[in-house]
Amino acid sequence: MEIQAKDLRIGNWIADYGCEPYFFQVEQIRKNVGYELWAYYRDGTIKAKDVEPIPLTEEWADKLPEDKFDFVGFGTRIIYQCVKYPAIKYESGHNAIMVYFNDEPIRICKYVHEWQNIHHALTGEELEIKEDNHVQK
């Protein structure tokens, strides 16, 4: 999947799969004279056409901060509920996140940036993801 300019926001996690996966957060987005989108981050810049979305895995869902999300899983379902907005729940599995609002499914997110964007659209707040040694910035 190629990331489109309309899908990218400052703060989105994306990947450069050049030699090895390198995950980073977008700090700035600009279009140059040729209308080519560039994503700026701490260690440099990269053309948006050269980055890829990060597939959602349970490992990414496990990076949710415990003070912002409660684990409310039922049986084999892995469900996280937003503490501040309890109507919003995220169910992790099958390398995707199903987003629930008032217990009704509203969206399936397969990539980290999609998940960040839908959380922001629903709450007006950024989706906080804990960093560890698997996430490079």
Please list the rounded mean pLDDT of every run of 10 residues in the chain (137 residues).
76 78 76 58 67 87 90 86 94 90 93 95 91 50
What is the CA 117 to chain-centroid distance, rounded?
Answer: 7
Residue type, 37: L
Q: For residue 133, what pLDDT is reported?
A: 42
- What is d(CA 55, CA 120) in angstroms, rounded to the nearest whole number? 18
DSSP string, 6-47: GG--TT-EEEE-SSS-EEEE--EEEE-TT--EEEEETTEEEE
Q: For residue 75, what pLDDT is reported?
A: 80
Q: For residue 137, what pLDDT is reported?
A: 40
What is the CA 51 to chain-centroid distance, rounded?
Answer: 14
Helix (H, G, I), strand (E, B) or coil at 81: strand
Residue type, 71: F
With the C-alpha atoms ordered 61, 64, 67, 69, is the resulting torsion angle positive or negative? negative
Q: For residue 14, what pLDDT is reported?
A: 86
Record the pTM. Answer: 0.81
What is the CA 16 to chain-centroid distance, rounded?
Answer: 15
64 contacts 73 by C-beta, under 8 angstroms:
no
Q: For residue 23, what pLDDT is reported?
A: 84
Q: For residue 120, what pLDDT is reported?
A: 95
